[in-house]
Structure 1
Amino acid sequence: MQITFLGTSSGVPTRSRNVSSIALRLPQRAEVWLFDCGEGTQHQVLRSELKVSQITRIFITHMHGDHIYGLMGLLASCGLAGNPSRIDIYGPPKLDDYLKACGRYSQTHFSYPVKVHTVRPGLVFEDEEFTVSCAPLTHRVPAFGYRVAEKDKAGRFDVDRAMAMGIPPGPLYGKLKRGEVITLSDGRIVNGADLCGETQIGRKFVYCTDTIYCDAAVELAQDADVLVHEATFSHQDAELAYQRLHSTSTMAAQVALGAQAKQLIMTHFSPRYAPGNSIGLDDLLAEAKAIFPNTLMAHDFFTYEIPRRQVEALAVTR
């Protein structure tokens, strides 16, 4: 699992930062999932190492323009770039109406199926490898944070050892791979867990924007390997954050701390902190690190590989 930031500015683009979008790359299945799709996202994808043809799912947090204005253009281009088999879009109420209106007034017709799913708090997607859930955030319009959880995988099954024990290949191997306990024809009892390596703990990615600090974000981000959280304002501009229902750098850090996340990556920065101003982005980073030291600051095209956890490390922390 690898995340690439395609836009890290809030409200409007700047010369160095586009508006909101993050790509989650799943190389094991040759898929890319997008989270938000601000204006110019398709241009950012073209400038990155991502492939438009691999986009299969798009998750929208809320209906503000800096998070959705690039969606219709991207969908139209996807059809011209290789006719994907299907794209599923998840988002708040009115997202489907918005896309239908865009298509109607621009006379745009997709050459592939596009399915829009209106999300509600809880599970929004599940397959054999992943679950995606969402929770309501606190913003001026309905907004949702998303949590992608990779399912735990059984350790590698030791076929050679099973054969040496005289266990015949076939259906029994499938049960042992799942960690089940079986009884052989000669009466021996074999625990499948003894023939499998260490369980691979699934990774967890959480994306929260736009929102002021809220308990729902802390709950959604519990034990996340990576929490991406907006940090529109400096702590010194907290009053603005409360007025506009956005987070400060310290609020993002408090969410990460309360959730016991492993890594915080801040994004969605106000252009007011551009170089040369009295408060800069380095100040926001210092504010956050004072509360949650394991904090990074995103920039456009920053890529982060979500590491796998070690079972031994989990045992120590628990």
Structure 2
Amino acid sequence: MNIKILSRNASLYSTDVLVQAAIKRKHNVQVIDPLNCDLVMEKKKPEIYYRGKKLDHVDAIIPRIGSSITYYGTAVVRQFEMMNVFTTVESQALIRSRDKLRSLQILSKAGLGLPKTVFTNYSRDIDGVIAHVGGAPLIIKLLEGTQGLGVVLAETKNAAESVIEAFNGLQARVIVQEYIKEAKGADIRAFVVDGQVVGAMKRQGKEGEFRSNLHRGGTASVIELTDEEEVMAIKAAKAMKLGVAGVDMLQSERGPLILEVNSSPGLEGIERATGKDIAKTIIRYIERSV
């Protein structure tokens, strides 16, 4: 098959292992920067040109679209879809996953466990917002934040009021969430491919850090999910309509709670923690689907 990987950097771990996995399984594979794609539209004849050369006879694409290029990257994925090319992540699912608020609404409607979350239109009733999530300590998140950036732990009510007022003053959209103390700065990343959990790791934040992101200095170790956690991860990916997803969950006294569902989850942490060839699993998913 002819496979294109949409990535801005061919040397990234995730991109490189996908290339190697495709080559090992005898496929033609090319990494293309979505920002260097030109989209041509006319009646029943959508086309894509990459650095001046027309892309045709493409069987499948693997989008690795960073949050900073979501708009144009999604347009490129959509153009491939118009050309009847299989994609491991559909354009609409990608857009949904990048909208934290919309994602939480979808997951809530699907009946999945979530930390109590409040979103308001710069409400002046800050006391009411804090009360809705059970008081301090609580978490305040920028809607556009990624990799743990724009996430604040307010340990007291006064601190929470100050941070929320500051964000409101800057007209920065935030959500306020309850703090799950029993999680102890750790979360679970379940990697879902084609409706199956293919790997899972527990990420632990460094001492004194409530964020468990590996980019923030956290560590990862392999974990065996409970039946409830596995079912939750699969249902979350299905609700978001993602063929490939990283589902982040907290372990709480009332069961697993979903933090977010990532449409471009990194492979380095999960492969090193589990010892599994997740890239190969993604390529096999394409082989079954095309």
- Shorter-chain TM-score category? under 0.3
What TM-score do the two structures reach when normalised by structure 2? 0.27
What TM-score do the two structures reach when normalised by structure 1? 0.26
Structure with bigger gyration radius: 1
Q: Report the structure, 1 or 2, having the larger helix content.
A: 2
